Chains A and B, each alone.
Chain A
Amino acid sequence: MIEELQQDDLEPVWRALSNPIRRRMLDFLREGPRTTGDLTDRFPDHSRFAVMQHLGVLEEGGLIVVRRRGRERFNFLNPVPIQQIYDRWVSKYQQPWAAGLTALKTDLESRTRDATEAADRDPDQSTTQT
């Protein structure tokens, strides 16, 4: 039930990512925020109108956040939906890794307990050990 809900949530993200030009636009925005003018310069094969439309789809998918600075409209890449897709899909196929990490966590935690106890006895020593 919850998974279905999250899937619906991510629908506009998938839609936004389904187009190669929009993916290239996102790659470009990874370098930093860009104005709409920067984007039309970067994709000269596409009309300003087409670029604006693609930006609209990306914004709907939450993949960009638009900020106005004076007269200019800056498009910022928002990486959060991609993280959500990663968590929703990729982590599922990493169960063996997850199991391994759990073991490592348990191991580290038992060591930390020892280290913390040591630190409580001698605070100066704990900062030098790794």
Chain B
Amino acid sequence: METPVPLEDHVFSIDINVPRRRVWDAILKTGAIQRFMMNTVLESTLEPGARMLYYSPNRKYVFVVGEVLEVIPERKFSHTYMFTTQSEAPSIVTWEFEDIPAGCRVTLTHSGWTTQVKTHKDVGGGWRMILDALKSELETGKIPLKMRLTYGLMGATAFMLPRSARAEGMEK
């Protein structure tokens, strides 16, 4: 008997050749552009229960809203996750960090799916690219050309986003 279930967890993992602390700092950086995270700006106090917003660089749009669930420094960071462009229930993103001889292994689990079919289908490619970009940025200081182009295009087409993604009135 097989045990497939629709809307299973997504798991992504990558080894990064820098100390764990640097990977942690990159993912929890607030108030400045996170290049690897599709050029978004995270705003949050990062305390459990606090709201999180991932803004466009010009702060006119918010792509993702969430709530901090758990913060164990340099070990685990977990939060809810909801696209502003889709009216689906929040899911859960968990980052885990562990030491490996070469540096740090970071594993991202996107779980808590119930009926968020569209989001479930959409996030895979994004996370793959984000983790790959994270590794490049931390190890070489650069984001690969192809990703820069993709991210650039996404930024350039932001004006097509629905009204629900507008930042105005969201900062409450």
Contact = CB atoms under 8 A, between A and B. Distances in A.
B8 A109 contact: no
Nearest to B106: A80
Contacts of B44: none
Interface of B: 1-5, 8-15, 17, 60, 107, 124, 128-129, 131-132, 135, 139-140, 144-147, 149, 152-153, 155-160, 162-163
Interface string A84-106: 10010001001000100110110
Interface string A1-20: 01001000100000000000
Interface of A: 2, 5, 9, 31-35, 38, 41-42, 62, 65, 67, 76-81, 83-84, 87, 91, 94, 98, 101-102, 104-105, 108-109, 111-112, 115-116, 119, 126-127, 129-130
Given A38-B2, A78-B13, A105-B153, A87 B107 contact: no
10 contacts: A34-B3, A65-B13, A77-B11, A81-B14, A91-B144, A98-B146, A102-B149, A108-B156, A127-B162, A127-B163
A124 B3 CA distance: 49
Contact of B132 (A84, A105, A119): A84
B11 A67 contact: yes
B76 to A, nearest CB: 15
A41 B144 contact: no
A87 B144 contact: yes
Given A87-B144, A115-B159, A101 B153 contact: yes
B152 A78 contact: no
Contacts of A65: 11, 13, 107
A45 to B, nearest CB: 17
A31 B4 CA distance: 8
A63 to B, nearest CB: 10
A104 B107 CA distance: 34
Nearest to A66: B11
A84 B132 CA distance: 6
Given A79-B12, A80-B128, A35 B3 contact: yes
A16 to B, nearest CB: 14
B3 A62 contact: no
B50 to A, nearest CB: 28
Contacts of A101: 149, 153
